[in-house]
Structure formats: C-alpha cells, structure tokens
Amino acid sequence: MSTTRNVAVIVGSLRKESFNLKVAKAMAAFAPASLKLNIIDIADLPHFSQDWEANPPQSVVDFRNKIGENDAVLFVTPEYNRSIPGVLKNAVDIASRPYAQGILMGMPGAVISASIGATGGFGANHHLRQVLVNVNMPILPQPEVYLGQVDKLLNDKGELDERTQKFLEKFLASFEQWITRNTKA
C-alpha cells in the first residue's frame, strides 16, 4: 500500500516574485505522487505576542491547524542580513506555542535556502536549524540545500534547470525517507 505524505511548505519571503516561492512551486509540481507539497501563506500572520497566548487571533488558530493537517514541514527561505527573515521567525514562533504543545513539536522537517548571492543563504539555513532544534523538530541533515544565484536557476515559466531539478528530486526522496523514519506508526 502506498502512502501519500502531506508536507506543509513555509516560504520565508512575502515578495510576490519571490525566487524562494518559485522554487517551492516548482518543487510542488515535480514532487512524486507520494509527496504532496502544500504551500502555507504566512503573509497575514500578526506579530507574535505572548499576551494573546490563551486566546489567539483566528488567523493564528487557522495557521496552526493548517500545519497540523500535514505530516512534515519544508522551509524554503531567503537570507536577510545573514539570518532568517523576520516574517519566518515570527511564523515559527507562532507555531511553536503554546509551550510544549506547539504543532511543530516532533514534526519531521527540512530546510532549503536560496539566494541571489553566491552562498545560497547558508547563514539563514543554519540559523533556522538552530531555532528548529528548540522546537524539537527532527530536521533532515543531508542533503543540505543552499541554492546560490537562484535567479539564474529558474526560467520565465518558473521552471528550474535540469541539474537543479534532479538534485531537488533526490533531496525529496531523502526527505520522504526521513519523514517515514520520524513518523510514529
């Protein structure tokens, strides 16, 4: 019996023409049938405040519920000033609460960073990994994905070049195994 894994995809850029969003959409299109990539919009999330922890806004409840409909989380993020964009950190903080009950706890995850620069968002990628350790998410160690000069990897139709697509197909196969290993039967 084949199992389809649902993967919440959280993109760390709100830009309409975001390369990271394009990478996420391209991956959703070529992902195997056994892996369904569901992009979750974080644009309308409020700034996290511990004041509303007992009674969070509806958009926060909806966001947490949407993540909970999935088996795993894939983060696709740019690097801002050698770290994680604030909007992404805010989304993770929101999904990490209430304390010890956050929806992300224990969910298998993976991180992709993409930048127009040469270093492929290495700094953001590893800052995010540090954050996700505290959320108790098992994060795929390998393959690491740092997509440098990402603007040159996508065509006008939002498709990735063949070499990058092949690499990301292998990444998705590893991620699928990682999800299986880290999912309770």
* Interface positions with ligand FMN (CB under 6 A): 13, 15, 18-20, 78-82, 115-117, 119, 121
Q: Closer CB to ligand FMN, residue 13 or residue 96? A: 13
Q: Closer CB to ligand FMN, residue 43 or residue 185? A: 43
With CA atoms as reference, report the closest residue to 158 among 8, 14, 16, 10: 16
Give the SS3 label for residue 168. helix
Q: Closer CB to ligand FMN, residue 116 or residue 173? A: 116
Minimum Å gap between C-beta 78 and ligand FMN is: 3
Q: Say how far apart CA 136 and CA 104 lie, in whole Å.
A: 8
CA distances from 103 to 11, 37, 94, 121 (A): 17, 18, 9, 26
Rounded to the nearest angstrom, the gap between the alpha carbon of residue 3 and the centroid of all alpha carbons in its chain is 21
Strand order in 109-114's β-sheet? 35-40, 5-11, 72-77, 109-114, 145-147
Minimum Å gap between C-beta 106 and ligand FMN is: 28
3-class SS string, 55-74? CCCHHHHHHHHHHHCCCEEE
Q: Closer CB to ligand FMN, residue 48 or residue 80? A: 80
Give the SS3 label for residue 121. coil
Minimum Å gap between C-beta 61 and ligand FMN is: 27
Rounded to the nearest angstrom, the gap between the alpha carbon of residue 150 and the centroid of all alpha carbons in its chain is 17
Minimum Å gap between C-beta 26 and ligand FMN is: 13
Minimum Å gap between C-beta 10 and ligand FMN is: 13
Q: Closer CB to ligand FMN, residue 19 or residue 171? A: 19
Minimum Å gap between C-beta 80 and ligand FMN is: 4
Q: Closer CB to ligand FMN, residue 2 or residue 81? A: 81
